[in-house]
Amino acid sequence: MDEVPEIPGLQIRSEIGRGGMARVYVAVQTALGREVAVKLVRPRSEADLVHLQRLENEAHALAGLQHPHIVELYDFGRTADGGMYYVMPLLPGGDLRGWGVPVAEERVIELLEALLDALTHAHAAGIVHRDIKPENILFDRTGRPLLADFGAALRRSRSRLTDEGLAIGSTGYMSPEQARGVEVDARADLYSLAVVAYELLTGCLPFEGPDALAIAVAQMENPVPRLPEALRHWQSFFDRALAAEPAWRFASAEAMREALEEVAEAAERPAPMPPRSLRWLGWGLGGAALLVLAALLVLTRDPAADLDRIGGLIGTGQLLPPAQPNALDAWLAARRQGVPAEELEGLRQRLLESLRAEQLEALAQGRLERLLPLWEQWQLAVGALGAHADPLVVAHNRQVEAALVPELERALRAFDRGEAALALRLVDASAMASKELLELASRVRALPDGAKPFADPGGPWLRLIEKPRGDRPGYALMAAPLDPELWSAHAPDSAPCKAPTEGVRGCIDAGQAADLAEWLSRRTGARYRLPHRGELAAGLDRLPRMPMYALTADCRRVQRSSGEGAFKRGLERVRGFFTGRRTQPAQSMPECSGQWALALDGSGQARAYTRPSPAVTVVLLREVPPAVGP
């Protein structure tokens, strides 16, 4: 093993991997006695400093993410010789490249669901991974997948680490816009994840070539490959997920997961029984004859007759597939036959107006559940017709967005993402949503969904106890008492404490709790503090039961007399009887004698502590301010 620098708190054991400037070691965190993985990077030239800067970006990105399918960052820092290290869990399960291909559908679906959950969390925090590939999908000893290596990540709050025109990512997996080195968003990650899924199912990449340029050209010019019959129910999923233009892809990880659920349902349906061989041959010959006849009819068809037919289909409401025949397919066929664009323009406008009219009634009634399928069809039709910039389309999109804004704002006021479930699906289906609407939707996605736990980027899991109402703020409590890992991230040099409950940090006093709350507030951007006694009591039934006490912000007040002793006061009364002078009454002042803590064992018992104890922990409160306007 090469000589490694000393890193405070770590004992390096052995090297387990290397590549370029990076070395990965097994080490032991001496404070906790646990094995960890340490990635150490040493720059060898001035050019390597750029990579080191990306690695630091990875550390900052990971520090703000806490998710069961994202590799956790325990610690990071600089070494004495100018290198950089960061400490992660030791993951003995290898990476996705170790899976043999092809992989069973149900296993691919399960993996995608976990990774899409991770990307939903990362994208909500404004982080785009930009380098999703099999080597960056790791597994722990239980087989749980974790997304790793955020070294190429972009954050909305930070400037780009690359100049325009420099592609960051892995050949074969990066999106077309990423290969061109232009600005990317979350849809680039969804494209890369779709490539991974395609490779797992088929054993090959969807677009291949001898070099990065050839692959990029194939992505832009070639259609998505057709899947074999056994995987045909995945075709529409990949047609959208691997679209060359980002506007045609899934707008979010949540939208991609909803489409994946439809694929899973289709995969579970039994396949139809194959026909008998002779009948199959007869149908095949008959079908071939029909195809030849249809081709002859298409070649000899009069374009003028096609235009009349399109107008008739629009008039009878046969607008889109799956209806057969339908106006959209007929219009597209006429365009392929070379009918001049000016002759088709009027029919395109009529088709768009008819599709818009179907949505206006649902809009007027405020029925988003009825609008959703019509809106999804509208998006696909607009794309097929190449009408994104058409004034009618732009105006209609603005009208729909105007109807979605109140729904999203209502969810913000209620502090409940579930209130805007339909509105968010409409946003996801939109290929041309405005920046303002996407930002508003992003704020709503950061809200908890009903009673489910939620977390701030870089913060602990929380449970909402009281929603904000009007101008009155609400609050959430930590879903579990303080764990040693969060405490270690805040105070890495603190003395160990053996709490009576495994996985909980004890020996916390009010001053330490206040410091922790201030640190979490800076880290997450939300306001954390110790709860008052009534606030904690209201959420005790939502916390796990254990033989420990959680601190509150309330002191036990006792009265302390500030007057003289009882004997002196008696003498004063005697003197006063003879002299007529009144004695001063004894004065008492409230004094804080210990901090109230509530039992977490379900009894609701309160006890005051004057000093830290292994049985005393903390459950911080996270304030939920009233919703403000967008």
pLDDT band for 190, please (50, 70, 90 cuts).
very high
Residue 561, pLDDT > 80, answer no
Q: Is 136 in the same domain as 85?
A: no
For the segment 61-92, what is each residue's pLDDT rounded down to a tens digit?
666 677 889 988 888 887 877 788 888 888 88
Per the annotation, the verdict on 131 as an active-site residue is yes
Strand, coil or helix: what is 272? Answer: coil
2 domain-assigned: no
Ranges of H-type helices in 246-302: 253-268, 277-300
- Residue 421: CA atoms inside 13 Å, Cβ hemisphere, count? 7
Q: Is 359 in the same domain as 465?
A: no
5 domain-assigned: no
How far apart CA 194 and CA 225 sit, in angstroms, is 13
Give the model's pLDDT for residue 298. Answer: 44
Q: Name 191's Cβ contacts closer than 8 Å, sequence gap at least 6.
A: 174, 175, 176, 178, 241, 242, 246, 249
Residue indicated by tokens 């039994």: 270
pLDDT band for 16, please (50, 70, 90 cuts).
confident
List C-alpha distances in Å: 462 to 92, 439, 476, 545: 30, 23, 6, 16
pLDDT band for 130, please (50, 70, 90 cuts).
confident
Please count the structural domains in the chain: 4
- DSSP 8-state secondary structure symbol assigned to residue 472: B
Query: What tokens does 397 get?
Result: 């999109």
Q: Is 191 in the same domain as 138?
A: yes
Question: Would you put residue 331 in left (φ > 0), alpha (ψ -120 to 50) or beta?
Answer: alpha
275 domain-assigned: no
Q: Is 76 in the same domain as 107?
A: no
Q: Please give the backbone phi and psi of residue 531, each rounded to the nearest 5 degrees, phi first.
A: -80, 150
For the segment 30-69, what is each residue's pLDDT rounded down to a tens digit?
888 888 888 888 776 655 665 666 666 666 666 667 788 9
Q: Which residues pair with 557 in a beta bridge?
A: 592
Mean pLDDT of 393-405: 92
List C-alpha distances in Å: 78 to 58, 163, 404: 14, 25, 47
How far apart CA 106 and CA 337 sit, in angstroms, is 42
How far apart CA 381 and CA 354 sit, in angstroms, is 12
pLDDT band for 1, please (50, 70, 90 cuts).
low
How far apart CA 344 and CA 334 sit, in angstroms, is 8
**What CA dihedral angle connects 263, 269, 274 and 280, to 10 degrees?**
-50
19 domain-assigned: yes
Q: Name 559's Cβ contacts closer than 8 Å, sequence gap at least 6.
A: 588, 589, 590, 591
Q: Which residue has the higher pLDDT, 467 or 45?
A: 467
Task: Specify the CATH number for the domain of residue 145.
Answer: 1.10.510.10
Q: Is 263 in the same domain as 395?
A: no
* Crossing angle of helices 105-124 and 186-202, rounded to 10°: 170
Task: Specify the CATH number for the domain of residue 18.
Answer: 3.30.200.20
Give the model's pLDDT for residue 392. Answer: 93
Ordered strands of the 454-455 beta sheet: 454-455, 461-466, 474-478, 621-624, 528-529
- Residue 437: CA atoms inside 13 Å, Cβ hemisphere, count? 24
Residue type, 626: P
Mean pLDDT of 148-156: 60
Residue 562, pLDDT > 70, answer no
Strand, coil or helix: what is 181? Answer: coil
Q: Which of 445, 471, 500 is the last residue of a domain?
A: 445
Q: Which residues pair with 147 in a beta bridge?
A: 70, 137
Residue 622, pLDDT > 90, answer yes
Q: Is 189 in the same domain as 333?
A: no
Run of H or E including 496: none
Give the model's pLDDT for residue 277. Answer: 43
Residue 21, pLDDT > 80, answer no
Residue 587, pLDDT > 90, answer no
Q: Which residues pair with 138 in a beta bridge?
A: 95, 146
Residue indicated by tokens 């939300």: 526
For the segment 339-392, what is each residue's pLDDT rounded down to a tens digit?
888 889 999 999 999 999 999 999 999 899 999 889 888 887 887 787 888 899
The CA-CA-CA angle for residues 623, 627, 630, to 5°, reads 135
Q: Which of 425, 445, 465 is the last residue of a domain?
A: 445
Give the model's pLDDT for residue 302. Answer: 40
On whether the CB atoms of residues 590 and 430 are closer than 8 A, the answer is no
Residue 296, pLDDT > 50, answer no
Strands 549-561 and 616-617: parallel
Q: Is 485 in the same domain as 602?
A: yes
280 domain-assigned: no
Q: Which residue has the higher pLDDT, 188 or 179?
A: 188
Q: What is the mean pLDDT of the chain?
A: 82
On whether the CB atoms of residues 507 and 616 are closer than 8 A, the answer is yes
Ordered strands of the 22-29 beta sheet: 10-19, 22-29, 34-41, 84-89, 75-78
Q: Is 603 in the same domain as 469?
A: yes
Q: Is 553 in the same domain as 615?
A: yes
Mean pLDDT of 420-449: 80
Rg (CA), the chain: 32
pLDDT band for 429, please (50, 70, 90 cuts).
confident
Q: Which residue has the higher pLDDT, 251 or 20?
A: 251
Strands 22-29 and 10-19: antiparallel
Strand, coil or helix: what is 527? Answer: coil
- Residue 354: CA atoms inside 13 Å, Cβ hemisphere, count? 21
276 domain-assigned: no
Q: Is 391 in the same domain as 319?
A: yes
Give the model's pLDDT for residue 167. Answer: 46
Mean pLDDT of 444-465: 80
Residue indicated by tokens 């929380």: 462
Q: Is 504 in the same domain as 525?
A: yes
pLDDT band for 20, please (50, 70, 90 cuts).
low
* Crossing angle of helices 368-385 and 391-414, rounded to 10°: 140
Weakest mean pLDDT among 5-14, 15-24, 238-247, 586-595: 586-595
The sign of the dihedral angle between the CA atoms of 175, 177, 181, 187 is negative
pLDDT band for 476, please (50, 70, 90 cuts).
very high
Mean pLDDT of 522-550: 93
495, burial (CB in 10 Å: exposed 0-12, middle 13-18, buried 19+): exposed
Give the model's pLDDT for residue 151. Answer: 57
DSSP 211-234: SHHHHHHHHHHSPPPPPPGGGGGG
Strands 474-478 and 461-466: antiparallel
Q: Please give the backbone phi and psi of residue 262, each rounded to the nearest 5 degrees, phi first.
A: -65, -40
Query: What tokens does 384 get?
Result: 């097929």
Question: Percent of the chain beyond pLDDT 70?
Answer: 81
Give the model's pLDDT for residue 155. Answer: 47
On whether the CB atoms of residues 257 and 116 are closer than 8 A, the answer is yes
Strand, coil or helix: what is 25? Answer: strand
Ordered strands of the 616-617 beta sheet: 606-609, 588-599, 549-561, 616-617
For the segment 213-262, what is each residue's pLDDT rounded down to a tens digit?
778 778 877 888 999 999 999 998 999 999 888 878 888 999 999 999 99
- DSSP 8-state secondary structure symbol assigned to residue 623: E
288 domain-assigned: no
How far apart CA 122 and CA 129 sit, in angstroms, is 8
Q: Which of 445, 472, 490 is the last residue of a domain?
A: 445
Residue type, 381: A
How far apart CA 199 and CA 207 sit, in angstroms, is 10
Residue 289, pLDDT > 50, answer no
Q: Is 197 in the same domain as 326?
A: no
Catalytic residue, from 117, 131, 306, 554: name it: 131
DSSP 3-state helix, strand, coil percentages of the chain (rounded to 5)?
45, 15, 40
Question: What is the domain extent for residue 229?
Answer: 96-268
When mean pLDDT is compared over 309-318, 418-427, 619-628, the highest value belongs to 309-318
629 domain-assigned: no
Mean pLDDT of 489-511: 91
Query: What tokens does 275 get?
Result: 């026909």
Give the model's pLDDT for residue 234. Answer: 95
How far apart CA 258 and CA 253 sit, in angstroms, is 9
